[in-house]
A and B are shown apart, each in its own frame.
Chain A
Amino acid sequence: MFKHSRFAALAVGALMLATPAAAQDKSIVVSSTTSTVDSGLFNHILPLFKAKTGIEVKVLSQGTGQALDTGRRGDADVVFVHAKSAEEKFLSEGFATKRYPVMYNDFVIVGPKSDPAAIKGKKDVGDALKTLMSKQATFISRGDKSGTHSAELNLWKAVGVDIDKDKGAWYKSIGQGMGAALNTAAADNAYVLSDRGTWLNFKNKDNLQVVVEGDKRLFNQYGVMLVNPAKHPHVKKELGQQFIDWLVSAEGQKAIAGYKINGEQLFYPNASDASA
């Protein structure tokens, strides 16, 4: 049997190797959205936070729906997402006690340079969407209950389209993250709603360009919440709250504003706007 005990020793050893040193584990888990990760924002601000506090932030990149669900199950200490109504529901269910507005950016409609539906430059996003539908131009929907997906559904609703009923072969719901949706649009000569951050940091732009931007309905607000320790006692409330306090502090807000790609700012801090 020595053969097996050797394997067992190996297995135990490997498990121990993979075990983080619990004693000095000053870290929190933040469930956030694909847009904050894919845009590169966290890579910019987290080293600044760690240098100041020594706290390591482990970021999960999920759609807003899944990120909130991770918080509900108690598997994250902090949620950092962008779908205000879903966040308010999270609050009302008691999974958090306070929501802090942090920053905003905006959504853009991205489409092929050839612009087959001729919507480039439209200032009214509703008009643009209706044109896409009437011309049956291929449109990629996230279809994953993310913040961007719910923003898209709200836009269709706002122009009086019941997309569940009216969608045809031109409307492709892919059930994946923002980057995957942009990859699909690039391959398919299609239109897609994207947050500006992910778009700017996206490397496979190929034949795509921004066709519609600037409508105030394309506004995209981000909020952050500590998972309620009363619901999940193991939540690291001091460390998590320290992260939130830093994000909304002058220093954190400056760090967010300082993130630029090719000189273009991706996120606009607005923690002081209580109504955001």
Chain B
Amino acid sequence: MNSGQSALTLVLTADPALIAIVKLSLTVSLAAVAVAAVIGIPFGALIALTRFPGRSGVIVVLNAMMGLPPVVVGLAVYLLLSRSGPLGNLGILFTPQAMIVAQAVLVTPIIAALTRQTIEDLWSEYREEFAAMDVGPVRRVLTLISDAKFSLVTALLAGFGRAAAEVGAIIIVGGNIEGFTRTMTTAIALETSKGDLPLAVGLGMVLMTIVVIVNSLAFAARRAGEMRAGS
């Protein structure tokens, strides 16, 4: 049996090790997106709706940070969480939490930047209406986020795609420990280094299938939501 077949066998027999790896990949990336959303959506909305000196600079930096190199983020988080680093007392280096932190750092700028753009576009549509109806600032933010929610799902999916696909950050802060911090992408890196290229390709196909499934679910949820909202 060659390794390509063995990758298929792992899937078909629901191999427990593979299931655990898939579960960890999803848990880490979804948690990172959730953390990033909590920070990124309000931050993006705030920038969209406020005017202050240096605002253009902040937007440029935020947009540029969408391209943060994962390996640099991994290294920075590693140095932060190392026992010899400032947050060493937490003792979370080489754990899934450290991986969530690293991916949240990667994903937050993506969600914040896309939220900023979405809200700002909507704001220019709504501005006069808000002024005419004398809507207060908090109410404005909530209305905009609420009305933009379907577009914001796309921002979340972009963040999830980034998180699920990257290997540079989590392999540094997670350590690719078998049964503990090994994810789809780090497993692919390991199998490649063992020269088991067919198995690595097989795992890659599994990963891509999962990403497609997650996106399909989001698409279906969005469509159902839009229908309910009657648009």
Q: Give A residues with C-beta under 8 Å from B.
A: 1, 3-4, 7-8, 10-11, 14-15, 17-20, 29, 34, 37-38, 43, 58-61, 72-75, 176-180, 182-183, 186, 201-205, 232, 234
Contact = CB atoms under 8 A, between A and B. Distances in A.
B196 interface: yes
Contacts of B84: 72-75
Interface string B133-174: 000000000100110010000000000000000000000000
A58 B96 contact: no
Contact of B95 (A7, A20, A177, A202): A20
B70 to A, nearest CB: 17
B177 interface: yes
A3 B146 CA distance: 9
Given A4-B42, A8-B38, A183 B31 contact: no
A201 B94 contact: no
B10 interface: no
Interface of B: 3, 24, 27-28, 30-31, 34-35, 37-38, 41-42, 82-85, 88, 91, 93-97, 100, 142, 145-146, 149, 175-178, 180-181, 190, 192-197, 199
Contacts of A7: 34, 37-38, 41
Contact of A202 (B30, B82, B194): B194
Contacts of B100: 14-15, 18
Contacts of A176: 193
A37 to B, nearest CB: 8
B31 A58 contact: no
Most buried by A among B83, B91, B95: B83
A29 B35 CA distance: 27
B38 A183 contact: no
Given A1-B142, A18-B27, A38 B193 contact: yes
Nearest to A62: B175
Given A58-B180, A72-B84, A183-B192, 13 more contacts: A3-B146, A7-B34, A14-B27, A18-B27, A18-B97, A29-B175, A60-B175, A61-B176, A73-B82, A73-B85, A75-B83, A179-B195, A186-B195
10 closest A-B pairs by CB: A179-B193, A14-B31, A204-B195, A74-B83, A18-B96, A11-B34, A203-B195, A203-B196, A202-B195, A58-B177
19 contacts: A10-B34, A11-B31, A11-B38, A14-B35, A15-B35, A17-B31, A18-B100, A20-B96, A29-B177, A43-B178, A59-B178, A60-B176, A179-B192, A183-B193, A183-B195, A202-B194, A203-B194, A203-B196, A204-B197
Contacts of B31: 11, 14-15, 17-18
